[in-house]
Structure 1
Amino acid sequence: MNTKNPTTTKYSLDLLKKTDSLVKNQFKCGTDFDLFFKKFTNLLMIDGKKTKASKILFTMLLTLKKKLEQDPQKNEKKAIRSMTKWKTLTQNHLENNGMKSSAQNLTSERSKEVGLNFTLLRVISKALENVTPNVEVRKVRVAGSTYSVPAVLQKKKQETLAIKWIINSAKKKQKTSKNNFSMSLAEEFLDASRKLGLARQKRDELHRLAQINRAYIRYRWW
């Protein structure tokens, strides 16, 4: 008859919480993922169908995770260092509480999953970073002539544009392929993380336009 050790269960639950916290803290500086997922769902939503939008996002995350399992870049140095840090924290936490066998078992079970989670979050964060624009171009009319004037974007608008571009690029990609929308969305995130894809092109075109019209910045009135 198997009996569960309440102490082991307590420390296992505590450890899982620390794992999730470590994953979040690792990417805290780059992207606030709670806010990102909420915003992404809202921008993805059509006709108030939030459940459907959430399902698409969840399926996309699962698809992207599967792609990363076979992706050659998943073993990049930073992801490996992050996973090593988690394994060290795990073993120290359990061994300090006299559970060496639990440390070995739990580490082997969770190390692969945690490593993939680190890589998944890193890909999403990198994709957003590569697509997010810093400036926009506004039309200003001066003495009967219209000029394209560069303007610095606020952070909220930067994030909104980046997400919209990724969504619209995925829709275009879906039309030219046999994949479903979640698959196209996952591929667009993967491309964006490598500075490729339509969303990245949109960002580069906007920056190029702002650079060309930098002489008209003197007409900025805001």
Structure 2
Amino acid sequence: MPRRKSVNFIRDVGVDPRYGSETVQKLINVIMWRGKKNAARKIVYESLDVISKKVGGDKNKSLEFFLKALDQIIPTIEVRARRVGGGVYQIPMEVRSNRGRALAMRWLISAASSRSDKTMGIRLANELIEAHDGRGAAVKKRLDVYKMAESNRAFAHYAW
């Protein structure tokens, strides 16, 4: 955290070439590993193609499906550790929209990579389909965070 002045610069990630969506481009950037952006694009586009085959429809339908599934994962509240008087308390706090989206994408990728399907694109597609239906490991992670925040609601007055 800078001591002098706050930095309010948010880097523009651009849009992806196929769908023209900033959210899809952000997912590609999060999946990207060791600078292999083309491999990350193949994974994301393969998963969106699998979704369009299973759901039926064109690419706009699969993009809407993806965005709705991501909305199911984005958290609105989380717990943060805060040291108060010698003890460390888990304090429930609201999540900013950018952080919520980043957490959702991280949880989605980790849940998809722990699946046992053949390729990462198919794993990601199946996890998105389950997230759209309100089940799956990524949605379970969000519910676990909510339960943790609810159980520590007594410490909410320490948030400042």
Give the TM-score normalised by the residue count of structure 1.
Answer: 0.61
In the alignment, structure 1 segments of 5+ residues that lack a partner are 1-31, 70-114
What does residue 137 of structure 2 align with? 198
Q: Of residues 50, 53, 61 in structure 2, which corresponds to 1:63? A: 50
Cα offset for 1:33?
A: 6.4
What does residue 11 of structure 2 align with? none
The CA distance in 1 between the partners of 2:53 and 2:80, in whole Å, is 41
Q: Is the alpha carbon distance of 1:65 and 1:189 closer, same or farther for their aligned partners in structure 2, counting shifts above 3 Å?
A: same
Q: Is the alpha carbon distance of 1:191 and 1:57 closer, same or farther for their aligned partners in structure 2, counting shifts above 3 Å?
A: same
What does residue 101 of structure 2 align with? 159
Contact between 1:130 and 1:200, CA under 8 Å: does it hold in 2? yes
What does residue 181 of structure 1 align with? 120
Cα offset for 1:178?
A: 4.2
What does residue 88 of structure 2 align with? 146
1:92-114 deviation digits (Å, cap 9, x = unpaired): xxxxxxxxxxxxxxxxxxxxxxx
What does residue 33 of structure 2 align with? 46
What does residue 171 of structure 1 align with? 113
Contact between 1:136 and 1:210, CA under 8 Å: does it hold in 2? yes
DSSP-derived class of the 2:83 partner: strand
Cα offset for 1:44?
A: 0.2
Q: Of residues 59, 63, 66 in structure 2, which corresponds to 1:117? A: 59
The CA distance in 1 between the partners of 2:20 and 2:153, in whole Å, is 34
Aligned pairs for 1:29-40 (under 5 A) are 34-40=21-27
Q: Is the alpha carbon distance of 1:154 and 1:33 closer, same or farther for their aligned partners in structure 2, counting shifts above 3 Å?
A: farther
Contact between 2:80 and 2:93, CA under 8 Å: does it hold in 1? yes
1:105-158 deviation digits (Å, cap 9, x = unpaired): xxxxxxxxxx43343123212211111100111111111111100111110000
- Between structure 1 and structure 2, the one with the greater Rg is 1
DSSP-derived class of the 2:27 partner: helix
Contact between 1:68 and 1:116, CA under 8 Å: does it hold in 2? no
Alignment length, in residue pairs?
A: 142
1:9-61 deviation digits (Å, cap 9, x = unpaired): xxxxxxxxxxxxxxxxxxxxxxx961101110110011111111111111111
Give RMSD over aligned pairs. 1.6
Contact between 1:138 and 1:149, CA under 8 Å: does it hold in 2? yes
Q: Which stretches of structure 1, 4 residues or longer, exceed 4 Å deviation after superposition?
A: none
DSSP-derived class of the 2:21 partner: helix
DSSP-derived class of the 1:147 partner: strand
